[in-house]
Structure 1
């Protein structure tokens, strides 16, 4: 599929709420390289369409639209095309909770039972646990993909959604570990309604969207009325198809917003600039929660607080049936990259892939240094690790694995790894990161590369015969 450049603005303009510091003027070759690498990824992973925005030092310095928002009708993506943004919605939910906290209407360390006494495990988990995905509540969206597709096409009540997990025990003691759970943000949406006395949708409209002039942010319930709405796609058995419909009741405060890059840039500027919550509250949002068992959760309130290419990164991705999105801020470079796509494939997620590509092409020396192999590399282990990963992707022979693991692969797990890893395509390199001792074993940590913007952490431990006796992915 050929993709034409629809919009390319190399002039800069200020966003309200961002500081007006001087924008770094980049050589045109950097933008050309970014465009080429984006096109390569879009073609490799068969992404129908995307819109991308780059903001440096408070100025929009680059916008670019690619591909089709509607393949059947040959309609091109434009910069004002609407995309579902999935879990980026969680930032809006977190801000709403902080607004109510700052108004003295709730406390983050209150048990959930103060506001929702009948919720599952309400006396055990706090609002802070829900905000940081450390509650231990099971995710109501867990289940066989085909079953979720079938169920999610139909409206469902809040109580019926909760009933999917209400009888389940907590996955771990609250605060001890981190596990992403949409259930927490569904419950936070209900807390907002109880405390404010308003429906969640009305609250964010009146307290966030209207004051910030976000006229192009809606919910999935509005899609049929929007003339420039993208159609969502995903691959089924290797063939691109229109993604299944998901009823708005399944996303709600966990992920039912749709938007454009420009509207998200308004949101980001206001959030970063203290216009929707105080600077102190924003610092809370962007501070990673520390679990009692595993240390940093790499997650604050509605935002991941992690790193990419060795650089601090604050942001979130969003995934829906037919869409993936990413809105990522790199504080040391004062650079924000927003990518919205109508590809629902998760291996890899197109939104994050595109933001990674743009960052690497804007800061090539940083990216190159981050991908240098560590000095104590064992070449034989690296070769075995690379070969073992290829075998997981292809489901072939597993000659680089121990007999114990071969047996597990033969009884079903092999096909699962093949299904999840094969869409990435052939790896371009296995980059050695370091060794570590864990559980009495020496582990070798690698980063498997698949071309611009796409990588997977892969760790192995070897047995005395030089084959993989244990491994972890991600």
Structure 2
């Protein structure tokens, strides 16, 4: 069942929000999460970064082979599905090759095949959209990177947290949103209760209240810790400052200029049109995960897209169509202390297999039962985009080898 969001004006949102977010008196000690379904959000980044490094070593080695062909990439899609992934859609763009492929099924337990233009939850790739909007506000002079977050949303953050800290995950904010969702689950081992909770609406107010209650992990600017709550905060800040809904800002100022016609920032749980639905492996079987509400992530991961549109986003951003080249240059360099990922502002870098010492830039996304990667060269000429479904909710073990497809896709760009 679709659950529609009831939106209030941004002024009303701020009025409700401010009294609810409690700033911790002391910094919290991050506790290990006992649930396999809530894996470390940077686990995919580390896995993918390692695959990129392996591809670079292979390409630059003495026995480097010719770049994989379109037929090789088709076979690699089949190999990933045979190894256990539920559904896959993938794309490679270079000056000499434009390939797309798909395999598996759109929904676990059903027979409808995936098509290469199917949409999927892009999860944390949404952060690139939000970071772009924030940098547009910096260009307009609304904010600077050093603007205190409390100047925009008074009383929500510890003193010293700036827009820069929220963009590059050095604010010390906790991860989220699992604490928020577990508040609505009586039995964390119940699949039905978990799916029901993932289909419910969560306000930005609730996200930021739980962020404050959970506690900050460290003093701002002293360490790196990936935070979904921090990006929810940036989304609320954008709405308060502009007086517009974040979904409208995303559409008008990023999706439309980038030509991303199949992408959206949805506000209800129904996936319209051909869609690669999330799938979770639980108690030894694949289970469909449909009607997941975008408000479980808001500005940290609500968007949906296709591989072609994600490639268009990277190309448009990296080549200066969405931001000035000077702003793009501020986004790309990794901050001190951020390794795996080498993270900048809503974007990170991995080894470019084709050019030793150079990098591809982009993001990945890990949704509840779907994952995605979008990387491109700084000149926009080479793109690798990939969306696939199937995540392990029984344990943290990998169920299939992502490198079977991602590695040849990377090598095909050389």
TM-score grouping bracket, smaller chain normalisation: 0.7 to 0.9
The 1:253/1:354 distance shift into structure 2, 3 A limit, reads: farther
Choose the corresponding residue for 1:129, options 165, 183, 189.
165
Choose the corresponding residue for 1:248, options 294, 299, 302.
294
In the aligned structure 2, how far is the partner of 1:357 from the partner of 1:296? 17
The CA deviation at 1:295 is 8.2
The 1:349/1:95 distance shift into structure 2, 3 A limit, reads: farther
> Which residue of the partner structure matches residue 298 of structure 1?
342
The 1:205/1:130 distance shift into structure 2, 3 A limit, reads: same
The CA deviation at 1:32 is 3.2
Over the aligned positions, Cα root-mean-square deviation in angstroms equals 3.0
168-177 vs 344-353, which deviates more? 344-353
204-213 vs 138-147, which deviates more? 138-147
CA deviations over 1:353-410 (Å, ceiling 9, x no partner) = 466322454379xxxxxxxxxxxxxxxxxxxxxxxxxxxxxxxxxxxxxxxxxxxxxx
Maintained 8 Å contact 1:234/1:240:
yes
In the aligned structure 2, how far is the partner of 1:297 from the partner of 1:241? 30
In the aligned structure 2, how far is the partner of 1:161 from the partner of 1:62? 40
Alignment of 1:387-402 (within 5 A): none
CA deviations over 1:256-276 (Å, ceiling 9, x no partner) = 111111212222221122111
Maintained 8 Å contact 2:314/2:376:
no
Choose the corresponding residue for 1:81, options 101, 118, 130.
118
Maintained 8 Å contact 1:141/1:148:
no
> Which residue of the partner structure matches residue 40 of structure 1?
79
The CA deviation at 1:232 is 1.5
Secondary structure at 1:172 match in 2: coil
The CA deviation at 1:98 is 0.4
Secondary structure at 1:75 match in 2: coil
In the aligned structure 2, how far is the partner of 1:271 from the partner of 1:350? 32
In the aligned structure 2, how far is the partner of 1:154 from the partner of 1:38? 34
> Which residue of the partner structure matches residue 449 of structure 1?
none
> Which residue of the partner structure matches residue 362 of structure 1?
412
> Which residue of the partner structure matches residue 318 of structure 1?
365
The CA deviation at 1:43 is 1.7
Choose the corresponding residue for 2:70, options 17, 31, 35.
31
> Which residue of the partner structure matches residue 408 of structure 1?
none
The CA deviation at 1:115 is 0.2
In the aligned structure 2, how far is the partner of 1:350 from the partner of 1:127? 38
CA deviations over 1:118-137 (Å, ceiling 9, x no partner) = 2132x221110000011111
The CA deviation at 1:320 is 0.9
The CA deviation at 1:214 is 1.9
Alignment of 1:305-454 (within 5 A): 305-307=349-351, 312-330=359-377, 335-345=382-392, 347-348=397-398, 353=403, 356-359=406-409, 361-362=411-412
Alignment of 1:281-292 (within 5 A): 281-291=327-337
> Which residue of the partner structure matches residue 154 of structure 2?
117
Choose the corresponding residue for 2:174, options 129, 138, 156.
138
The 1:88/1:28 distance shift into structure 2, 3 A limit, reads: closer
The structure with more strand, counted as a fraction of residues = 1
Is residue 245 of structure 2 the alignment partner of residue 199 of structure 1? yes
Structure 2: runs of 5 or more not aligned:
1-64, 183-187
> Which residue of the partner structure matches residue 368 of structure 1?
none
> Which residue of the partner structure matches residue 259 of structure 2?
213
The 1:99/1:351 distance shift into structure 2, 3 A limit, reads: farther
The 1:250/1:161 distance shift into structure 2, 3 A limit, reads: same
Q: TM-score, normalised by structure 1?
A: 0.64
CA deviations over 1:101-125 (Å, ceiling 9, x no partner) = 101111111111110112132x221
In the aligned structure 1, how far is the partner of 2:405 from the partner of 2:377? 11
CA deviations over 1:166-225 (Å, ceiling 9, x no partner) = 134321121111111101100010111111111101111111222333221113446636
Q: TM-score, normalised by structure 2?
A: 0.72
In the aligned structure 2, how far is the partner of 1:62 from the partner of 1:207? 28
